[in-house]
């Protein structure tokens, strides 16, 4: 999405609210863009920034061709500052550095923009520091914050922003887009469950690491269904050696969650809901014999609990050991 009409096709309400503000010259001093991954947060942030700096701005649509638009798109404009999580969070040092930048006038105009990705990861100290920016807005300063997890944003920050809710994308329409662009049907179903972003979907689809991750999840389900006494060894020989970063463990747990959901769907004969396994996969029948519907509901809750532990910085290997032990019982 590179123009407001393109955004309007996916997020009509958000597009209308922001473009009306632009037409009336009533751009908010702070926006909070909240929605699931792939719903267009970054595209909207870029369009707002381009509109403020575009050298050929025609009414409410930036040209996307001038020097300013190109530099904003590439992340190289001196008066547009991006802040992203450093590791698991955005730290107070990052906000201090941003404040130092804002002590100076803009290099090319009086206008300044800062864009915060993953605003829900702000530490308490960093969030309080940002709050001071928002409490004393400069007419020429625009803040754009983005989050997948709106519940983690401090109410005091939320109250000082114009909140833009982005609706989830229609997975069926997204699957059709993927298939039209050449992706295999079953892969398109899984990718639409994992992401709403076309580029992200095709990157995963062509990624050898992701292909191996899918195989490991299948193998883990096989071990849990047939040889649960071997699962501890499997975790250390295969899972831990492949899923190294915390974010990779989270992705593996997402796949495992889909796999066990499919087994439950097999029990209740809901083939349409399956995203990980093909309905004809023989492993589904084997796993369904091993796990009752009640057990599967417990397993799904256990996987969700494991995901929460990862967010709480519990060591990933310990999380997986506890998870598989609980599933075995």
For residues 276 and 252, give the distance between their C-alpha atoms in angstroms, rounded to a whole number.
12
Using the 3D structure, point to which of 147, 165, 183 is the last residue of a domain: 165
Count the domains in the chain. Answer: 2
Model pLDDT, residue 24 = 87
Q: Is residue 314 part of a domain?
A: yes
Question: What is the Cα–Cα distance from 189 to 263, expressed in whole angstroms?
Answer: 16
In a domain, residue 117? The reply is yes
Is there a domain that residue 192 lies in?
no
Q: Are residues 19 and 160 in the same domain?
A: yes
Identify the CATH number of the domain in which residue 11 sits.
3.40.50.300
Distance CA 256, CA 306 (A): 11
**Residue 213 tokens, joined:** 């991750």
DSSP structural state of residue 274: -
Q: Is residue 20 part of a domain?
A: yes
| CB neighbour list of residue 294: distance below 8 Å, 6 or more residues apart | none
Model confidence pLDDT, tens digit, residues 224-261: 999 999 999 999 999 999 999 988 999 999 999 999 99
Q: 18 is written with which tokens?
A: 């922001």
Does 110 lie in the same domain as 29? yes
Query: Strand ranges (DSSP E) for the chain?
Result: 30-34, 80-83, 112-116, 141-147, 162-165
Distance CA 55, CA 177 (A): 34
Mean pLDDT score of the chain, rounded to an integer?
90
Q: For residue 175, is it within any domain?
A: no
pLDDT category, 105, cuts 50, 70, 90?
low
Q: Is residue 291 part of a domain?
A: yes
List all residues 6 or more positions away from 3 whose beta carbon is below 8 Å from its beta carbon.
Answer: 47, 61, 64
pLDDT of residue 34 exceeding 80, the answer is yes
Closest CA to 91 of 123, 137, 131, 43: 123
Q: Are residues 25 and 102 in the same domain?
A: yes
Per the DSSP assignment, residues forming a β-bridge with 115 are 82, 144
Regarding whether 97 and 38 lie in a shared domain, the answer is yes
Instruction: Clarify whether residues 158 and 217 are in a common domain.
Output: no
Give me the domain span that covers residue 307: 207-328
Residue 171 lies in a domain: no
> How confident is residue 148, by pLDDT bands cut at 50, 70 and 90?
confident
Q: Are 45 and 115 in contact (CB under 8 A)?
A: yes
Judgement on whether residues 220 and 105 belong to the same structural domain of the protein? no
37 in a structural domain: yes
Residues 50 and 160 in one domain: yes
The CATH number linked to 300 is 1.20.272
Shared domain for 102 and 39, answered yes or no, is yes
């Amino acid at each position: 999405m590179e123009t407001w009409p393109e955004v309007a096709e996916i997020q009509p309400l958000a597009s209308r609210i922001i473009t009306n503000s632009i037409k009336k010259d009533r751009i908010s001093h702070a926006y909070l863009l909240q929605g699931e991954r792939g719903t267009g947060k970054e595209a909207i942030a870029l369009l707002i920034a381009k509109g403020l700096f575009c050298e050929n701005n025609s009414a409410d649509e930036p040209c996307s061709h001038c020097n300013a638009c190109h530099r904003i798109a590439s992340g190289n404009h001196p008066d547009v500052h991006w802040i992203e999580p450093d590791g698991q969070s955005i730290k107070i040092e990052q906000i201090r550095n941003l404040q130092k930048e804002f002590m100076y006038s803009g290099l090319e105009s009086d206008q300044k923009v800062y864009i915060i990705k993953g605003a829900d990861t702000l530490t308490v100290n960093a969030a309080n520091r940002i709050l001071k920016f928002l409490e004393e807005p400069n007419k020429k300063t625009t803040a754009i914050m983005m989050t997948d997890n709106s519940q983690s944003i401090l109410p005091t920050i939320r109250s000082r922003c114009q909140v833009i809710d982005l609706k989830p994308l229609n997975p069926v329409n997204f699957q059709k887009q993927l298939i039209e662009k050449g992706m295999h049907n079953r892969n398109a179903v899984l990718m639409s469950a994992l992401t709403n972003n076309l580029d992200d979907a095709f990157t995963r689809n062509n990624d050898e690491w992701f292909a191996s991750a899918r195989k490991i999840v299948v193998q883990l389900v096989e071990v849990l269904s047939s040889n649960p006494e071997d699962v501890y060894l499997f975790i250390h020989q295969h899972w831990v050696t492949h899923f190294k970063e915390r974010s990779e463990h989270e992705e593996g747990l997402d796949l495992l969650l889909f796999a066990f959901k499919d087994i439950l769907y097999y029990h209740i004969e809901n083939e349409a809901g399956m995203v990980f396994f093909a309905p004809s996969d023989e492993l589904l029948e084997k796993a369904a014999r091993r796990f009752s519907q009640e057990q599967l509901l417990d397993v799904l809750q256990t996987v969700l609990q494991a995901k929460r532990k990862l967010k709480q910085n519990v060591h990933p290997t310990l999380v997986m050991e506890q998870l598989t032990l609980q599933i075995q019982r």
